[in-house]
Chain A
């Protein structure tokens, strides 16, 4: 009979190691340095059908029987390093069933930091693999809408780029869907099971950004009271998405370049590097070539990031996609707020189709959200659209990145002005005013007011409490 291994000194009494592993809801296999099985937990036995008696002392490849064991053994890939590896693969269990799995392999170190074995966790992904189509679409390119020629060619390239390990630079005007594309690339890549970490390089001051990206060691600077791992370390085995890369300070551009070259990160104040297995995706709405000429962006970093480039066209260059997107967001928002509307009126549609959309898809989406919310007629009419749309002439050749200031307040804001409210009233203020008007018009009857607003009685009740309407 095998002795029961114990964990000593962690707590006041020795802990039962076997019982501890059995409580973990993942398959766990413990190996020696020759990759021979030392222990399996109960969950592993449940997934694979292998029992500990049969597996003990046998090479893990014959026990786990995963595709990764044969094509790219994770333990051998670690090659003596101290970093963990995660990959997706499949196994064939003793019931002759093929199961998709996520395999994570990490070294076991003794107190002197010497590798004395390996621990692998096995997660059965069968339930995740059978997600519904809707859920699947949310994580794939199916969520990116478009059928114009430019988008069609992007759709052809994206899956190939997603499967590769190359750095990708996503360019395009504001609101063209750079974030969506980055997330879809991650979700359809081999790293989908790993983390997706997004950092806005323009959102943090230089000093904070360095610590945020690369981490810091305790005492590195005043206020660094403990070690911080940094986003690159957190993104290990996953993808890091650097949005607004054009706003990255020059000093950090050098550090990023160094990382891209040797894949090792050095936290602020630390001397010990960490081998980070991270894929870089970057995005910007700026013209990086122009910035290179102006000396604001490093040429070598541009070359390093620009291994593959995806340029998302602005909406004004996507012929035929405006209608598609209008319909998509219309059905999305009507479903979201359970409002029964019969599409756009001819006039409203004509207005929406000829508008310039300097803010691209984000602007179109906001317009539809606003219209769906404020419309009380069966169809979205011209007067339900934000007022600045009606005053602006079609502008298909507007310069990029210029966000138009609203030229005239919307009808709701006009009503708010009549009530001595600021013309720059927020949505909450306008919304509160609309509820008050509906309540007044229906003589204080909530059911009738809710009907006028096109919302349910319970939603109206929540809003009344939210806006503290007495």
Chain B
């Protein structure tokens, strides 16, 4: 079983890890079937408290927006697989992760300028 955390805002990956107050935690059977989903709401945003929460929840993978180097290094050191600077809807990012196609810096949004797809 694997646990993946995705900090969210309005169902999308929040652009900043340190400003997240809502975390989606997905339990899955390896990279396949989703077994369980839960959201945790934090009373305030704090990168440090969020790191502690991820460790307390035994998270294996983190998919998030922009993150400072020190937290990135810390979580990697603690064995968390971190995909940072990811933007877009959480479900698209999760599907990409399931199919081994996700990389740090991926932007999973439709590109539009003045209402027209480009």
In the complex, which residues 48-67 of chain A have their Cβ closer than 8 Å to any Cβ of chain B?
A: 54, 56-59, 61-62, 65, 67
What are the interface flags for A91-105 relative to B under an 8 Å C-beta threshold, 1 for contact and 0 otherwise?
Answer: 111111110000000
Min CB distance B40 to A, Å, is 18
**Once the chains are docked, how many angstroms separate the CA of A209 from the CA of B68?**
51
Residue pair A58, B15 in contact (C-beta under 8 Å): no
> Which residues of the partner chain A approach B14 to less than 8 Å between Cβ atoms?
70
Contacts of A98 in B (CB 8 A): 68
Question: A342 at the A/B interface (Cβ < 8 Å)?
Answer: no
Known: A70-B9, A71-B19, A96-B84. A54 touches B112 (CB 8 A): no
Interface centre among B15, B85, B87, B105 (most CB of A within 10 A): B15
CA–CA, A56 and B110, complex, Å: 10
The contact of A57 among B69, B85, B87, B118, by CB within 8 Å, is B118
CB-defined contacts of B16 to chain A, threshold 8 Å: 65, 67, 69-70, 92
Partner of B68, one of A32, A34, A92: A92
Q: Name the contact of B15 in the complex, choosing from A32, A56, A62 (C-beta under 8 A).
A: A62
Q: Is A18 an interface residue (CB 8 A)?
A: no
Pairs across A and B, CB under 8 Å, 25 listed = A33-B114, A34-B114, A34-B115, A54-B105, A56-B111, A57-B110, A57-B111, A57-B113, A57-B117, A62-B87, A62-B107, A65-B16, A65-B66, A69-B15, A69-B16, A70-B15, A70-B16, A71-B19, A92-B16, A92-B67, A93-B66, A94-B85, A96-B69, A96-B84, A98-B68
B118 touches A61 (CB 8 A): no
Q: Is B94 an interface residue (CB 8 A)?
A: no
- A329 to B: closest C-beta gap in Å: 44
A residues 64-97 with Cβ under 8 Å of B? 65, 67, 69-71, 91-97
Question: B72 at the A/B interface (Cβ < 8 Å)?
Answer: yes
Do B112 and A34 touch (CB < 8 A)? yes
Decide yes or no: A58 and B87 within 8 Å by CB, A34-B115, A70-B15, A92-B16 being known contacts: yes
Q: Which of B65, B68, B105, B107 has the most CB of A within 10 A?
A: B107
Across the interface, name the chain A residue whose C-beta is closest to B72. Answer: A96
A69 to B9, CA, bound (A): 12
Task: Tell me if A36 counts as interface (CB < 8 A to partner B).
Answer: yes
CB distance from A54 to the nearest CB of B (A): 6
Asked if A96 and B114 make an inter-chain contact with CB atoms under 8 angstroms apart, the answer reads: no
Please tell me which one of the listed residues A57, A70, A93, A97 contacts residue B112 in the complex, with CB atoms under 8 A apart.
A57
Binding site for B on A (CB under 8 A): 32-34, 36, 38, 54, 56-59, 61-62, 65, 67, 69-71, 91-98
Interface size on B, residues (CB 8 A): 27
Specify which chain A residues have a CB less than 8 angstroms from the CB of B111 in the assembled complex.
36, 56-58
Question: Contacts A62-B87, A70-B19, A71-B19 given: A56-B113 contact, CB under 8 Å?
Answer: yes
Chain B interface residues toward A at CB < 8 A: 9, 14-16, 18-19, 65-69, 72, 84-85, 87-88, 105, 107, 109-115, 117-118
Specify the chain A residue showing the minimal Cβ separation from B84: A96
Q: Is the CB of B109 within 8 A of A59?
A: yes
Sorted from nearest, which 8 A-B pairs have the closest CB atoms? A57-B111, A92-B66, A62-B87, A96-B69, A65-B66, A70-B19, A32-B114, A65-B15
Q: A97 and B69: CB pair below 8 A?
A: yes
For the complex with contacts A32-B113, A57-B111, A70-B14, 14 further pairs of A-B residues with Cβ separation under 8 Å are A33-B114, A34-B115, A56-B118, A58-B107, A62-B65, A62-B87, A65-B65, A70-B15, A71-B19, A92-B66, A92-B67, A92-B68, A94-B105, A96-B67
List of B residues within 8 angstroms of A92 by Cβ: 16, 18, 66-68
The interface residues of chain B lying within 8 Å CB-to-CB of A38 are 113
**Distance A445 CA – B107 CA, assembled complex (angstroms):** 78
Residues of A within 8 A of B66 (CB): 65, 91-93, 96
The distance in angstroms between the C-alpha atoms of A28 and B115, with both chains bound, is 22
Report Cα–Cα, A70/B118, bound state, in Å.
Answer: 26
A104–B66 CA distance with the chains assembled, in angstroms: 21
B residues near A70, Cβ cutoff 8 Å: 9, 14-16, 19
- With A33-B114, A70-B14 already in contact, the answer to whether A58 and B19 are too (CB < 8 A) is no
Which A residues are CB-close (under 8 A) to B88? Answer: 62
Contact B68 A97 (CB under 8 A): yes
Closest to A37 in B: B113
Q: How far is the CA of A227 from the CA of B14 in the complex (A)?
A: 45
CA distance A93 to B72 in the complex (A): 13
A80 to B3, CA, bound (A): 43
- B15 to A61, Cβ gap below 8 A? yes
B115 to chain A, nearest CB (A): 7
Q: Identify which of B66, B110, B114 gathers the most chain A CB atoms within 10 Å of its CB.
A: B66
A150 to B88, CA, bound (A): 55
Q: Are A96 and B68 in contact (CB under 8 A)?
A: yes
Closest beta carbon of chain A to B73's beta carbon, Å: 9
Query: Chain B residues near A91 (CB, 8 Å)?
Result: 66
Q: How far is the CA of A65 from the CA of B105 in the complex (A)?
A: 13
Q: Which residues of A sit under 8 angstroms from B69, Cβ to Cβ? A: 95-97
Distance in angstroms between the alpha carbons of A38 and B109 in the assembled complex: 15
Chain B residues within an 8 Å CB radius of A93: 66
Chain A residues within 8 Å of B107, by CB: 54, 58, 62
Complex: chain B residue closest to A70, CB-CB:
B19
